[in-house]
C-alpha cells in the first residue's frame, strides 16, 4: 500500500474497531470516497465506503474480478499479520 490518509473515525460494522486512516494502492493520497473499498486492520473484513463515508461490509462478488483478487490478498495479509501478534 503506497500511501495513507487520516480521516474522521469510522466504526467497522463487523467488529466495532475505530478506523481513522485509509491506505491507497495507487499512491494518490486522497480521502476515501463513496464506492472505495478498505479492509479493517483488526478483523480483516472487506468494507466499502457509502454516502457520508459510512462503512458497510463489502460483497466481494460484486467487485471486478481483478480488484477482488487484490482485496483478497490484502485480507490475507491482515489476517497473517494479526495472527502473528
Domains of the chain: 3-83 (2.20.28.160)
Reported pTM: 0.84
pLDDT tens series, the chain, 85 aa: 457 888 899 999 999 999 998 877 666 677 888 999 999 999 999 999 999 889 999 999 999 999 999 999 999 999 999 888 7
Q: What is the DSSP string of the chain?
A: --EEEEEEEEE-TTT--EEEEEEESS-------TT-EEE-TTT--EEEE-GGG-EEE--GGGS-HHHHHHHHHHHHHHHHHHHT-
Amino acid at each position: 500500500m503506497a500511501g495513507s490518509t487520516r480521516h474522521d473515525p469510522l466504526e467497522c460494522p463487523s467488529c466495532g474497531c475505530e478506523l481513522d486512516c485509509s491506505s491507497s494502492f495507487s499512491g494518490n493520497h486522497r480521502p476515501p470516497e463513496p464506492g472505495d473499498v478498505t479492509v479493517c486492520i483488526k478483523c480483516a473484513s472487506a468494507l466499502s465506503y457509502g454516502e457520508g463515508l459510512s462503512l458497510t461490509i463489502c460483497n466481494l462478488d460484486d467487485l471486478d474480478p481483478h480488484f477482488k483478487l487484490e482485496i483478497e490478498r490484502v485480507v490475507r495479509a491482515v489476517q497473517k499479520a494479526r495472527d502473528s501478534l
